[in-house]
Amino acid sequence: MSDTENPETASEVRTENTVEADEFEPIQVFPESEEMDLRPGSDDCYKCSTCDTNCPVAAVDDEFPGPKFQGPEQWRLKRKDDHDIDDSVMSCSNCMRCDDACPSDVPLSQMHNTARGSFVENQMDKLSREYVRNRILANYGALARLGSKVPRLTNFVMGNSVVQKFNEKLLGITSERDFPAFADETFRTWWKRRGGVAASKKRAQDARAERDGANVESDDKRVAYFHGCYSNYNTPAVGKAMVRVFERFGYEVMVPPQRCSGTPMFANGMLDDAERAAEVNVRELAAAIEDGADIVASCTSCSMSLRQEYPELFDFEGTASVAARTYEALEYLRVHEDLEGALDDAEIDGEGDAESENFAYHAPCHARNQGLAGQAVELLDRLEGANAEDVGDSCSGISGTYGWKDEKYDTSMQIGAEMFDHMESVEGETGLTECPTCAMQMEHGTGYEIRHPLEVLEEALVD
Amino acid sequence: MAIEDDVLVVGGGIAGMTAALAAAREGAGGRVRVLSHKDSTLKSASGLIDVLGYAPRPAASAAGRGAGDGQSHGADDAENRAPETPLSNPFDAIPDLPDSHPYRIVGEAGVREGLALFDDATGDLYRGGHTDRNALVPTHGGRVKPTARYPASAAAGLASDDRDALLVGFETVTDFDAPLVADHLESVGVPFDAEGVTLRFPGGFRADAKLTRFADALDANERVERVGGAGYTETLPAREALAETVKDHLGDAERVGFPALLGQHAPAEVRADLEAELGAAVFEVPMGPPSLPGMRLEGALVAACREAGVRFTTGNPAVGYETDSSGRVRAVRVERNGAAIPFHADQFVLATGGLVGKGIDSDREGVREPIFDCRVAHPSDRYDWFEDDAFGDHAFARFGVEVDGELRPLDARGGSEFPNLRAAGAVLGGHDFAAEKSGAGVSLATGRFAGRTAAKEVRD
Amino acid sequence: MASTPHTVVVGGGSTGCGIARDLAMRGVDVSLVEKGNLTHGTTGRMHGLLHSGGRYAVSDQASARECIEENRVLRDIASHCVELTGGQFVQLEDDPDEYFEEKLQGCRDCDIPAEVLSAEEAREEEPYLTKDVKRAIRVPDGAVDPFRLCVANAADAQRHGARIETHAEVVDVLTDGTEVTGVEVRHDSGPGKREHVTPGERERIDADYVINAAGAWAGQIGAMAGVDVAVRPSKGAMVVMNCRQVDTVVNRCVPKGDADIVVPHETTAILGTTDVEVEDPEDYPEEQWEVDLMIDELSKLVPILREARTVRSFWGVRPLYEPPGTGTADPTDITRDYFLLDHDDRDDLAGFTSIVGGKFTTYRMMAEEISDHVCEKFGVSATCRTADEPLPGSEDFSVLRDYMEEFGLRSPIGRRSVQRLGSRADDVLKTGEPNPVLCDCEAVTRAEIRDAIDQSGTDLNAVRIRTRASMGNCQGGFCCHRMASELHPEYDAPQADAALDELFEERWKGERHALWGEQLSQAALNYALHATTMNRDRDPGDATVDFGAFDSGADDLHEEVNHGD
């Protein structure tokens, strides 16, 4: 696979092809695929329907039958020669709440991911508008790479209502949403400009020296940062916060070459695209582990992907160890450092005259699935000047690319309504979440400024 | 470093949340965390709070007989079954329970304290606390069941109430056949006339629409289409449309029962609107999974726990533990994609559920408690785990950990396994909650006992 | 002799149903009586293999030839009962080469298409096969649903004028000393469709001819007529997996042995089997070692089976027969061939023939032979048409349709419905009413359940075998009561109750053999649903409940005072 040689430029060629729908040449999905058989996963199902009661899509979309049918039931009914997958699988937003709900370990999202991949491969018209649109959305990282080359121009163009209408009409991308703005400078550019890993090593040593009084080498305190597309292209401030916070705790940060985690590709059944990206990521991250690093992500969907979806769907060398060594940023510090103690001793200032800053915190579904739902609020409770309130355990409704689809926009906003209500009832007008697309939805629904917990930590802990 | 609490409760069902609530209230200022893997079985349960519905079975029939004795089943087992007459007062029978029963360990006072904590935590959501007596609540199987607390939504449905009742089922709600349930209730001699009717839920929902979908529609009072009496179509708010659909069938009934789908978040409002439209009392008949009353109860318990400062960590399984040099549990290990994350605490409560909740696991060779490897007594021959009658006196129904007088699990030698670990709820052995109707009661009584004792230990 | 002689067929298994259809199509007046449901005996307790003949290609080539011949016929006439899975005879590393070669040669000798697969090819076809595969022979084995096949035969017989009486146990075979004149049956309820709680009655059915097709029970029927039919029943255990680990029939290629076959059956895989002679076809031990043997042995062939979920086990008895004096010691060596015993020739008792031995795959051929025999006696000249005329459900049907569009069902549900109903799908599914799924595991809708109830009355086990409702992973925990509800109000509450209890107990009987791991948890959940949530275990029955002694609501405070609490 030649395009993996240089991950930084990997998918540009294909993306250019996708810009003009007429010229789009579909690439065969699953060129050498082995169909995955997930029927044995139905062994764990007791039919209790707990998954259905947790499905945010089934709650508002009458055409969607819910995860029990989409997953274990549909799989169990399958014979080898049966290829028809109910088309409702494309309505699953891949929020993975069913995984989190199932009291019995049915591999629901793996079933949905695989069924969706199979549906896209066997039953979806590769020339259809829906396929082209999904392909573009799924490859956001590649799109962003292009856009961020000329961020101001792109931001201007994508913000143009004519272009938005064009997207909606031609591609089925809703014009209700504003495209996320590209940063003037990507995280990676900043990172290189700052001096890369050598500079990080120095800073980490300084921090250790300051704390422990000794300028010691430490192979233990090394992390590889998986920034994902969004922190790189759109919100480099989150990436910078991650680097500074970890350096403050004495960690040397590495930033290995990387591609999209695959989350949007899974959600759109583009398993082949995801596999190509995953192969690069696993190789690069496994190499970082060889160098003594643990993997840290700031986006909870990225960490979800590395931890759960890779081992469920792929079998590259190193997949399991990457999964076992990947952490969400706050989780990592909490387990390995006395983060709570550090926060006890710190404080932040409220906006203007306010004594404290209030955050309406939303736990992304993918954070919930990793057991991280209560973490940010618990931690910020320790921090003087910060007051974080959980806005409930509903789904934000955007689920990555889902809420961008014209036909899913209303559903997405219906799902999000509960969260918007709860946000409105929280004092203050700042939202907080780990997931960039949840952040888009939170901002879209309330107009609040949305921050990442790492940014708050940076404010509190980094001088 | 790492995650540290005073009391760590493993398991987020009714027993776990009760333990956490008791601990948080008892040890003001202490840190209490509920650690759970997935959703609990509360959504599968009816939401009724059974304490003790039937006297225990005669001890003689407790021995397993196995399937090896051919195809005959039924008669012998039926004769051995416990008395079928429900207990009107559950507390009267507690002294007659075997010594190993969880109620004997916490005592009648412990059961009452558990209920008191529950009543306080759930407030208006539940009824029945005004008396020691059991209530008989109609089930979706057409029987009446003795229970100690019932959702407010089921209050108007009690079988000892002599008002005539109309039961309304819906074509696609397949677990509740209202005419059949009505016939059944009359056959057990309830003191009222019961009629049943099956209607189409207004609004043209799909045939596979879930109970929760109807509940959402009623919560939001969505506008739905309904074909009126004269054949024209009108668009009405869902509650009104439902009432209009039912009205013609009301007859002399003073109360109307529905399968439990009358709202998830606003059940009281849904019921009040329906009652106003119908001019009759409205009640729900509790249903199996997914259970709206169970979901509401879960919401109420979570809210009470949060209010009391309990913290929740969900999503990854507890798989093992660490001890310190004195043999106390120091941490519970949580598995997360191959990495083990320790959760430290001073006191621990095991409330992981029974066979259904996965707190008890089994294979062809045996039965075990998977986190602490607590002792679970069971016959060595798996053909002695069950009886040949489907409702026989199954040994498996009693599988669970054995505990000492403080609910501390026993080790293989019969001593308490760890000084700072207690067990609560369905993970406890020694009772058949399904046969005696005691599931929620045992969870409340032992959950409260374990949580409170843990908090006391922290404080001392 | 009467031009339309009345023939009674005893036994509603594959052979009996096949005979009833064959004779009825030839214009013979037929009554079939069966003590239980159709398939109650051996037919309903087999592993569902449609033999290619490969299993007999070394030991019994005559049977092998019959199998491949009938295999081809059934694909045509019973397409909605048959799944063309193909099969493999798998040789593991340590299995004997000579036998493999013998098997291959045997298949070729019997005109059974056979192809040698390399280990890689075998595993490509069946990915869950062990890595220890050395090679395999591919043969045209298939899977067949014996329930549907019997029901279709019986339905077609009825269409041609036959009377089918289930739950009608023969209690006597009537003779006048030289000739059999009929049978006396005891109807469980009825005659006619079964209705629980309805008292049964005895009926004397006169006949010009009686055919004993009672399989393993043929000896008992023979005894009623005073003739000796020495059936040697042999039990075999079968273990039902929750889902299909294989999509082709996987046989182990060894000379003979227990636990050597995995058959994909509908949504499940069935492991088989043992071979132990028993005294009484109705009363024999169902033993733990048999279940463990299936799992332990067959997981050597398909390793995933070791930890996979089993949902139940069942046992069947083979109606083996060998002519008097043969004296084979090991039941596995008794021939699988069938025998037509004309008791006139054999025992000087006219009007009575027993058909014994044989196997499911050749049921039609056996039915044809005995029908020829009877027709010849009565001078009926019509010839057999059962090999050419498709069964109801298998007529001219192509399954490539838009199920969702046509029936308003999700596509996998529509697909499964059509796989079961075949060409009857339109009739059954297009009701114009909301058609919710009642059995989620097997995707069985209300319309299909109601269709089955129309055929079989309150007998929910008969509904089950027609539809597969309650045969999935929950083993009826979530749907038995839904099925019973469909009986009401056509049948009253006590009838619906009795029918529910019977189905629930029948499900439990098999599920008991799978009670560990997932299925024990499922059983505990089912128990909780039915006992706790529905309180079905504590029906007060005739006992009176003192409703006044219980809480009647918070408002009636006067009662509180009266009770002093």
Min Cα–Cα distance to chain B from A331, Å: 10
Is it true that domain A347-461 has CATH number 1.10.8? no
Nearest residue in chain B measured CA to CA from A389: B306
Please give the average per-residue pLDDT across B314-321, as a whole number: 94
- Chain C residue numbers with beta carbons less than 8 Å from the beta carbon of B85 are 540, 543, 545
Question: pLDDT-derived band of residue A363, with 50, 70 and 90 as boundaries?
Answer: very high
Q: Quick one: pLDDT at residue C539?
A: 77
Distance CA A412, CA A405 (A): 9
DSSP state, residue B54:
S
In chain B, positions 11-70, which contact chain A (CB-CB < 8 Å)? 38-41, 43-44
- Chain A residue numbers with beta carbons less than 8 Å from the beta carbon of C520 are none
Q: How do the domains of chain C map onto residue ranges? A: 6-42+146-230+336-378, 53-142+232-316, 403-538
Please name the member of C83, C304, C410 whose beta carbon is closest to the beta carbon of A69. C410
- Chain A residue numbers with beta carbons less than 8 Å from the beta carbon of B344 are none
Q: Quick one: pLDDT at residue B69?
A: 40
Q: Quick one: pLDDT at residue A24?
A: 31
Pick among 1.10.287.3510, 3.20.20.70, 1.10.1060.10, 2.10.210.10: CATH of A39-123: 1.10.1060.10
Second-level CATH architecture of C53-142+232-316: 2-Layer Sandwich (3.30)
Chain C contact for B321, CB < 8 A?
Answer: no
Tell me if A363 sits within 8 A of A331, measured CB to CB.
Answer: no
DSSP state, residue A65:
-
Residues B203-251: pLDDT tens digits?
989 999 999 999 999 999 999 998 877 778 899 999 999 999 999 999 9
Mutate to test the interface with A, among C84, C124, C240, C244 (most CBs of A within 10 A): C244
- Give the contacts of B387 (CB within 8 A, at least 6 positions apart): B64, B65, B73, B77, B393, B394, B395
Domain boundaries B140-285, CATH class: alpha beta
Residue A244's identity, in one-letter code, is: R
Tell me if C468 sits within 8 A of C486, measured CB to CB.
Answer: no
Tell me if B73 sits within 8 A of B388, measured CB to CB.
Answer: yes
Distance CA A435, CA B434 (A): 43
Chain A contact for B334, CB < 8 A?
Answer: yes
Secondary structure class of C467 (helix, strand, coil): helix
| CA angle centred on A44, ends A39 and A46, rounded to 5° | 115
Distance CA B66, CA B64 (A): 6
- Chain B residue numbers with beta carbons less than 8 Å from the beta carbon of C504 are 390
Pairing outcome for strands A430-432 and A386-390: unpaired
Counting Cβ atoms within 10 Å, is residue B251 exposed (0-12), middle (13-18) or buried (19+)? exposed
Please give the average per-residue pLDDT across A308-316, as a whole number: 92
Mutate to test the interface with B, among C491, C551, C560 (most CBs of B within 10 A): C551
Look at A43 and C242 and tell me if their CB atoms are within 8 Å.
yes
- Chain A residue numbers with beta carbons less than 8 Å from the beta carbon of C306 are none
Chain A contact for C521, CB < 8 A?
Answer: yes
CB pairs under 8 A between B and C: 235
Q: Quick one: pLDDT at residue A219?
A: 63
Q: Quick one: pLDDT at residue A33?
A: 39
pLDDT reading at C540 higher than 90: no
Distance CA C289, CA C294 (A): 9
- Chain C residue numbers with beta carbons less than 8 Å from the beta carbon of A44 are 309, 518
- Chain C residue numbers with beta carbons less than 8 Å from the beta carbon of A40 are 243, 245, 304, 308
Look at C551 and B160 and tell me if their CB atoms are within 8 Å.
yes
Look at A59 and B311 and tell me if their CB atoms are within 8 Å.
no
Of C417, C420, C86, C74, nearest to C247 by C-alpha is: C86
Looking at chain A, which residues constitute the CATH 3.40.50 domain(s)? 347-461
Query: Rounded to an integer, what is the distance from CA C34 to the centroid of its chain?
Result: 14
Second-level CATH architecture of C6-42+146-230+336-378: 3-Layer(bba) Sandwich (3.50)
DSSP state, residue C537:
G
**Total residues found in chain B within this entry:** 460
Distance CA C326, CA C132 (A): 40
Residues B339-374: pLDDT tens digits?
889 999 999 999 999 999 999 999 999 999 999 999
Look at B390 and C504 and tell me if their CB atoms are within 8 Å.
yes
Tell me if C441 sits within 8 A of C473, measured CB to CB.
Answer: yes
Look at B174 and C446 and tell me if their CB atoms are within 8 Å.
yes
Q: Which chains touch C (3 or more CB pairs under 8 A)?
A: A, B
Please name the member of A42, A65, A73 whose beta carbon is closest to the beta carbon of C242. A42
| Average pLDDT in chain C | 92
Q: Which helix (H) or strand (E) holds C100?
A: helix C97-109
Look at A77 and C242 and tell me if their CB atoms are within 8 Å.
no
Chain A contact for B289, CB < 8 A?
Answer: yes
Q: How do the domains of chain B map onto residue ranges? A: 3-121+295-459, 140-285
Q: Which phi and psi angles does A154 have, rounded to 5°?
A: -60, -45
Please name the member of C497, C537, C546 whose beta carbon is closest to the beta carbon of B391. C537
Of B14, B6, B5, B9, nearest to B296 by C-alpha is: B14
Chain A contact for B206, CB < 8 A?
Answer: yes
DSSP bridge pairs for C262: C250, C271
Look at C533 and B287 and tell me if their CB atoms are within 8 Å.
yes
DSSP bridge pairs for C280: C283
Please state whether A294 falls in left (phi above 0), alpha (psi between -120 and 50) or beta.
Answer: beta
Top pLDDT among A159 and A138 is at A138
Please give the average per-residue pLDDT across A357-385, as a whole number: 92
DSSP state, residue B186:
H
Q: Which phi and psi angles does C357 have, rounded to 5°?
A: 75, -160
Please give the average per-residue pLDDT across A407-412, as a whole number: 91
Q: Quick one: pLDDT at residue A349?
A: 84
Pairing outcome for strands C115-118 and B223-227: unpaired
Q: Quick one: pLDDT at residue C259?
A: 94
Nearest residue in chain B measured CA to CA from A335: B2
Pairing outcome for strands B339-350 and B3-10: parallel
CB pairs under 8 A between A and B: 106
pLDDT reading at B81 higher than 70: no
Pairing outcome for strands C142-144 and C49-50: antiparallel
Question: pLDDT-derived band of residue A215, with 50, 70 and 90 as boundaries?
Answer: low
Residues B385-433: pLDDT tens digits?
999 999 999 999 999 999 999 999 998 888 999 999 999 999 999 999 9
Please name the member of B161, B174, B396 whose beta carbon is closest to the beta carbon of C524. B396
Residues C103-130: pLDDT tens digits?
999 999 999 999 999 999 999 999 999 9
Please name the member of B54, B68, B171 whose beta carbon is closest to the beta carbon of C434. B171
Distance CA A129, CA A127 (A): 7
**Total residues found in chain A within this entry:** 463
Counting Cβ atoms within 10 Å, is residue A125 exposed (0-12), middle (13-18) or buried (19+)? exposed
Please name the member of C247, C267, C472 whose beta carbon is closest to the beta carbon of A80. C247
Look at B337 and A311 and tell me if their CB atoms are within 8 Å.
yes
Query: Which tokens is B455 given?
Result: 């908090």
- Chain A residue numbers with beta carbons less than 8 Å from the beta carbon of C245 are 39-40
pLDDT reading at C363 higher than 60: yes
Rounded to whole angstroms, the maximal C-alpha distance in chain C is 92
Q: Quick one: pLDDT at residue A56?
A: 92
Question: pLDDT-derived band of residue A1, with 50, 70 and 90 as boundaries?
Answer: very low
Domain boundaries B3-121+295-459, CATH class: alpha beta
